[in-house]
Structure 1
Amino acid sequence: MTLDQFTPEEGQVARRYEYDDSTVMAVDFGTDAADASVDLVDDTVIVVLADDQHEIDLPANTENAHTFMKNGVLTIELEEDR
Structure 2
Amino acid sequence: METPHELRTVDQRDGHVRTRRYDDGSVIVADFGADAGEISVDVVGDTAIVVAGDQQIEFELPEGADEISVNNGVLTIEE
Same fold (TM > 0.5): yes
Structure 2 CA distance for aligned equivalents of residues 32 and 12 of structure 1:
9
47-56 or 15-24: which moved more?
47-56
Q: In structure 1, the residue corresponding to 2:41 is in which secondary structure?
A: strand
Distance 1:40 1:18 in 2: 23
One-letter code aligned to 1:71: N
Q: Distance in 2 between matches of 1:18 and 1:43?
A: 22
> How far is 1:48 from its partner?
1.1
Runs of 5+ consecutive residues of structure 2 not aligned to the other structure: none
Structure 1 segments (4+ residues) deviating >4 Å: none
Unaligned runs of 5+ in 1: none
Larger Rg: 1
Bigger relative contact order, structure 1 or 2, given CA contacts below 8 A and separation 6+?
Answer: 2
What displacement does 1:13 show? Answer: 0.4
Decide which moves more: 69-78 or 47-56: 47-56
Structure 1 segment 20-59 matched on structure 2, within 5 A: 20-59=23-62
CA RMSD, Structure 1 to Structure 2 (Å): 2.4
State the identity as a percent.
43
Provide TM-score, normalisation by structure 1. Answer: 0.67
Q: Distance in 1 between matches of 2:15 and 2:52?
A: 14
Count the aligned residue pairs.
Answer: 72
Name the one with the larger helix percent.
2
